[in-house]
Amino acid sequence: MAKYKVACLEVYPPDIRAEIESQLPEEFEMVFAKSYDDQERLDLVSDADFIFFAGPYPLTGKHMDAAPKLKLIQKWGIGVDTIDLKAASERGIPVAITAGSNATVVAEHTVMLMLATYKRLTYVDRNLRQGRWLKSESRAFSYQLRGKTVGIIGLGNIGKEVAKRVRAFDCRVIYYDKVRPGSEVEQRLGVEFRTLDDLMAEADIVTLHVPLAPDTRNLIDARRLSLMKPKSILVNCARGGVVDEASLVDALRSGRIHGAGIDVFAEEPAKVGNPLFDLDNVVLSPHTAGGVIDNVPNVARHCFANMQKVARGEPLSEADLVRG
């Protein structure tokens, strides 16, 4: 019996491929891209039933047209800004995410960036390795989480997990979301609703957990950055385009805000010469908030379960189905 072919367009190291393949249903076979060369990607999908996609390089109508058997585009994670949803909709190709599958992982990374930014961990680490012992000096620019007000923008799966964790640090939590979840959820999480501008002005820590969409692009612009407290920090584990990066650099250089923890960038992969790289009050990571090896099987199972539903003609869950 012929197997369904899954084309993975992400370039993974062998240990990650092995973890993914360990969850592969017996009715599927899987091929992995060896590079991001576009012709290789086109060849890979030519007889694929499913595309297994993570990014960061765009998935366009050209790739969909090259895959006449394509039944589903399955996104690893939740961000779909690099998928041409309009092209998929026009071709009748469903797109699915793995809602909630990496929420706790991203929440952990978010809290790590809060702590590291408040202590300027990468700055003192770099100085220590160069022979400079900043024990006394660092006290002047370091802060604790305890007692701070954390402002969460986007109270979805990840935002909720962040709320749980920062409350364990004795933080007060406020949030903004365009769709309020209801008083029961607010009470259970111990969070208070604010308008976006009020949150920016009140929070000591602003953390972003919204998708990149037309209404969220440059959501945090120069005006909203100007509302923040001088000793506040910004953490972005969402998408780079949610923040006006040039305005953020200006706010950090001028000391308008205390610091930033950044996992995502306006252009990815971020290039040498990005002005954020030159700032001592910034902690950076290369879009790795959701990337831990011990969560790979969980996400892979979620992906393959969606593919199995489509293969059997069953509906996808509303949480996973992306509407273009």
pTM for this prediction = 0.93
Count CB-CB contacts under 10 A for residue 284: 18
Query: Across the beta sheet with 172-176, what order do the strands follow?
Result: 191-193, 172-176, 149-153, 205-208, 233-236, 259-262, 282-284
Nearest to 245 by CA among 196, 282, 300, 215: 282
Active site residue 63: no
Q: Domain 4-101+293-311 adopts which CATH fold?
A: Rossmann fold (3.40.50)
Q: What is the pLDDT of residues 165-203, one digit of tens each?
A: 999 999 999 999 999 999 999 999 999 999 999 999 999
Q: So what's the pLDDT on residue 324?
A: 67
The CATH H-level superfamily of 103-284 is: NAD(P)-binding Rossmann-like Domain (3.40.50.720)
Q: What is the pLDDT of residues 116-137, one digit of tens each?
A: 999 999 999 999 999 999 999 9
Q: What is the pLDDT along the chain (324 residues), one digit of tens a residue?
A: 679 999 999 999 999 999 999 999 999 999 999 999 999 999 999 999 999 998 778 999 999 999 999 999 999 999 999 999 999 999 999 999 999 999 999 999 999 999 999 999 999 999 999 999 999 999 999 999 999 999 999 999 999 999 999 999 999 999 999 999 999 999 999 999 999 999 999 999 999 999 999 999 999 999 999 999 999 999 999 999 999 999 999 999 999 999 999 999 999 999 999 999 999 999 999 999 999 999 999 999 999 999 999 999 999 999 999 986
Domain 4-101+293-311 identical in fold to domain 103-284: yes
Domain boundaries, the chain: 4-101+293-311, 103-284
Active site residue 165: no
Active site residue 172: no
The two counts, helices (H) then strands (E), for the chain are 12, 12
Choose the catalytic residue: 239, 245, 258, 302: 239
Instruction: Retrieve residue 278's tokens.
Output: 């030159």
Choose the catalytic residue: 21, 40, 186, 268: 268
